[in-house]
Structure 1
Amino acid sequence: MANAPVGGRAFALPFTRAADPNVELTEKEMRMPLANKVPDHLRNHFIAMCGEYVGTVLFLFFALSGTQVANNIPSSSGLTVAQTGSNPQQLQYIALCFGFSLAVNAWVFFRISGGLFNPAVTFGMCLIGALPWVRGVLLFVTQILGGLTAAALVSCMFPGALTVTTALGGNTSVVQGLFIEMFLTAQLVFTIFMLAAEKHKGTFIAPVGIGLSLFIAELTGVYFTGGSLNPARSFGPAVVIKSFHGYHWIYWVGPILGSIVAAGFYKFIKILEYETANPDQDSSHAAKMSQKKEHLLAAGLNEVDAHDIAIYLAKQQSVGEMGGVNGSIFANGQGRKFQEADGQGMYGTDFRRSTTGNSEGTLVQAPAPAGTIAPNAVERFQQREGIPRQNSGSGSGRVESPGMASHDDIYAPLQNGQSEALGHMVRHEPRSRFARTESSGV
């Protein structure tokens, strides 16, 4: 198997140090010249704008080129779509092009810019607080430029006149077209809020679900309004062919109103705490706890304290993901808290930020030698994370129950470096211990 690329490594030109994957490069060698002179918040804005521009161009290029094919390919009888009129197969082809193109490119670019590709979606993200307004304005302009570029590329690369503009059809009135665009965009934006801004950020579920949402919306709207749902999608082709319908404004006002409707309903159900109506539908609490427990054990904590702390952290993570006490809202790895952050991470959050002062952002201390417990690991961890623990006055930080073995008795085998598993120790323990069974071993 080939070596994985080293993050930040310069171009691997032949016969250079960067071409050797085994060479240790310094931080300066892996950065672009003078890049360290640029403040992080400016560099992050620039990176997001670059990603959003390229992503919007790719998304609309494949979507518009598919539309160009569907609108120009002759039928089996040799007649064009202009001669025969629209048909369900043609409309389905266009809807598939838009849906699949969005799913693929959102999947690729969410790590860089969030994979929005739509000024209406960007506006909605700003309304719910998942995107700072400064970043939103920058991405809004970038997406419009991406739409222009994609339409120009399709016009240059494919023969014939550009036939991908959005227009009202099927005797649709302007008012009807406005509300069609509004409701279809509301459905798309709300899907993005619930998938990308909630549980499934960073997984394949979010882009696939968003792509399917656009596909369904296109099936409904492409015949009547052209299925824009995106000001950049309508504005780019209109500029390239230098022709604007008198009702072109509906392709701006409709999607913006749809974003407002989606954001209003999203905030409404968040205020009502919708998570409590049907809890634990998006993630496994047990899986979260098990993963955190393994990390704590690797850090040198004993079995019992790792179990207790893992339960606490899993609950705190669930509260945070639901927009709980810390007011956090996440979108494709983006997020913003009510508290002011230092702006070092994506969209002004603590993403990539160290919690212990080192460059890796380590949550707990380095693993201790096998068979030992790192001194005061639990106390330091609790103090750092703000976990309240009662103190018995003896300095141990734990209140002993009359029906439980003492702290020293329970952990003595581990302190002495013995290999006996905790489950075996519990099995032969003379005194009962609450909520610890032989089968569980904890």
Structure 2
Amino acid sequence: MKPAYTTDPNHPGEKRLPGLRWLPNRFRHMLISTIGEFVGTFLFLFFAFAATQVANTSPSDIDDPASTSTLLYIALAFGFSLAVNVWIFYRISGGQFNPAVTIALALVGAIGWLKAGVLIIAQILGGIAAAGLTSALMPGDLKVRTRLSEGTSVTRGLFIEMFLTAELIFCIFMLAAEKHKATFLAPIGIGLALFIAELAGVFYTGGSLNPARSFGPDVILRTFDSYHWIYWVGPILGAILAVVLYRLIKFLEYETANPGADSDGREERYIKSPSEEEIRRDNTSHPLQTFSTAPYQSAAVQRTDGADEYELSPPFQPINKPSQYRRSTSSRLESTNTTDNTTVIGNSYSLPSIPSQPLPAYGGDGHHSIIDHPNDRPRAQHRPSSIPMHSRSRSRHSQYEEATDRSFRNAPSTESGSS
């Protein structure tokens, strides 16, 4: 059954449930993000904890809990659980699930500090709930705590947590915070980043990278090691390191270093600019055979009145702005053999000449404008008209052709001679 939405009197045009009419938008958004972070952190850590519990109590690995198969199992569990749940909650709360990530986003100004504090509390509570449910459902003692391995000092553990967390958070910055064509695939990259970090860190520190991940099981077991603080300080230092690197590359304008990396070859700004000699269509230094046999560029997307216009153009024709004027054909050349308005004399070719008078055209607002040369404006995309030739009213020797740009469909018709 669809909810009965009502119009919000404080915000005309917006609709909300009758029971939420009294709730301010700012508080409502905060509530949604808080619920999303609590539920998302709970689901992420519950499935990761459950898989870790299975790996650490498997009969085949009782004598060797640090076997590579166990480590791989745990790393896969955390990586895939994060990827799936980030994808679910990305549009709800951002899918942070980690106090270190939230602090990093607050440091770069992506979220406010008040919201960051509320989300961190929700994440910690979600981690405690996930550890509690895992302990209640799984038989045996809870075996998902993070602790240092034998031979790993506290200092080493601190820096391991710092660098692994920095790698994860920098991946989040570049894949999720920085918008690009593959932003919708960011959860996969973030999950893979946690996967490789867990592969490197599970054996030595337990692979926390997340204060909520380490704090929840210790609360349920009521056991805190003397070095528990490294699972807070290490990820926070990693967040600061990632922020410094992110700020540095933003300050240096990293977008200009490799501008075509995020291109599919169809953006107009990446099309190779023609030389000055190639810009004019009436340049007789180019033989007609070069024009007719030159390969066409890939389709270039141009914006025309909000619609995507795919236009194939020869490599010597610049594509720099949307079509705004009607295209006109040059005056017919008198000859006995004419092909595409080009005179063929023996084995030589002659391109159309420039009209003696400037040709009128209609701009986007329907007014006249004078164009000194028909090639000094972008080309419009032409398609065969569905109107039969015998029903058209344009003159047989008209100097104008029809354009399909939406801006000119309601403009006065040049073919009928109206002004």
Distance in 2 (alpha carbons) for counterparts of 1:231 and 1:307: 51
Aligned partner of 1:159 in structure 2 is: 139
Aligned partner of 2:112 in structure 1 is: 132
Higher helix content, 1 or 2: 1
**One of 176, 190, 193 as aligned partner of 1:196:** 176
Q: Determine if the alignment matches structure 1 residue 27 to structure 2 residue 6.
A: yes
Distance in 2 (alpha carbons) for counterparts of 1:262 and 1:308: 39
**One of 98, 103, 112 as aligned partner of 2:78:** 98
Distance in 2 (alpha carbons) for counterparts of 1:174 and 1:189: 22
Aligned partner of 2:42 in structure 1 is: 57
What does 1:22-421 align with in structure 2 at a 5 Å threshold? 26-27=5-6, 31-75=16-60, 80-81=61-62, 83-200=63-180, 203-284=183-264, 286=266, 293=303, 296-297=306-307, 308=321, 378=364, 396=367, 400-404=370-374
Flag structure 2 segments of 5+ consecutive residues without an equivalent. 9-14, 270-299, 310-318, 325-361, 401-419
Distance in 2 (alpha carbons) for counterparts of 1:288 and 1:125: 33
Distance in 2 (alpha carbons) for counterparts of 1:54 and 1:145: 10
Pick the structure with greater CA Rg.
Answer: 2
Distance in 2 (alpha carbons) for counterparts of 1:90 and 1:84: 9
- 1 or 2 for the larger relative contact order (CA 8 Å, sep ≥6)? 1
Tell me which amino acid in the other structure corresponds to 1:149: A
1:7-46 per-position Cα deviation (integer Å, ceiling 9, x unaligned): xxxxx3xxxxx39xxxxx5536984442021111111111
Q: 1:396 to 1:96 in 2, by over 3 A?
A: same
Q: 1:298 to 1:66 in 2, by over 3 A?
A: closer
Note the C-alpha offset of 1:209. Answer: 0.6
Note the C-alpha offset of 1:84. Answer: 2.8
Tell me which amino acid in the other structure corresponds to 2:25: D
SS at match of 1:84: coil
Note the C-alpha offset of 1:404. Answer: 2.4
Note the C-alpha offset of 1:267. Answer: 0.4
Flag structure 1 segments of 5+ consecutive residues without an equivalent. 1-11, 13-17, 20-24, 300-305, 312-374, 380-394, 432-442
Q: 1:106 to 1:429 in 2, by over 3 A?
A: farther
Task: Note if contact 2:302-2:321 (Cα within 8 Å) is conserved in structure 1.
Answer: no
Note the C-alpha offset of 1:160. Answer: 0.7
Tell me which amino acid in the other structure corresponds to 1:27: T
Note the C-alpha offset of 1:405. Answer: 7.7
Distance in 2 (alpha carbons) for counterparts of 1:38 and 1:157: 38
Task: Note if contact 1:199-1:282 (Cα within 8 Å) is conserved in structure 2.
Answer: no
Aligned partner of 2:408 in structure 1 is: none
1:52-73 per-position Cα deviation (integer Å, ceiling 9, x unaligned): 1111110000111110000011
Distance in 2 (alpha carbons) for counterparts of 1:202 and 1:27: 37
SS at match of 1:34: helix
Q: 1:288 to 1:121 in 2, by over 3 A?
A: farther
Note the C-alpha offset of 1:285. Answer: 6.7
Note the C-alpha offset of 1:199. Answer: 3.2
1:211-253 per-position Cα deviation (integer Å, ceiling 9, x unaligned): 1100000000000000000000000000000000000000000
1:169-210 per-position Cα deviation (integer Å, ceiling 9, x unaligned): 041000000000000000000000010111348844211111
Query: TM-score when scaled to structure 2?
Result: 0.66
Distance in 1 (alpha carbons) for counterparts of 2:368 and 2:117: 50
Tell me which amino acid in the other structure corresponds to 1:308: K
Task: Note if contact 1:49-1:142 (Cα within 8 Å) is conserved in structure 2.
Answer: yes
Distance in 1 (alpha carbons) for counterparts of 2:157 and 2:74: 19
Distance in 2 (alpha carbons) for counterparts of 1:285 and 1:99: 33
Task: Note if contact 1:293-1:307 (Cα within 8 Å) is conserved in structure 2.
Answer: no
Distance in 1 (alpha carbons) for counterparts of 2:87 and 2:46: 16
Note the C-alpha offset of 1:293. Answer: 2.5
Give the % identical residues.
Answer: 50
Query: TM-score when scaled to structure 1?
Result: 0.62
Distance in 1 (alpha carbons) for counterparts of 2:180 and 2:214: 30
Distance in 2 (alpha carbons) for counterparts of 1:292 and 1:86: 57
Higher strand content, 1 or 2: 2
Distance in 2 (alpha carbons) for counterparts of 1:429 and 1:216: 68
Q: 1:246 to 1:277 in 2, by over 3 A?
A: same
Task: Note if contact 1:110-1:202 (Cα within 8 Å) is conserved in structure 2.
Answer: no
Task: Note if contact 1:170-1:223 (Cα within 8 Å) is conserved in structure 2.
Answer: no
Tell me which amino acid in the other structure corresponds to 1:84: D
Give the alignment's Cα RMSD to 1 decimal.
3.7
Distance in 1 (alpha carbons) for counterparts of 2:43 and 2:67: 27
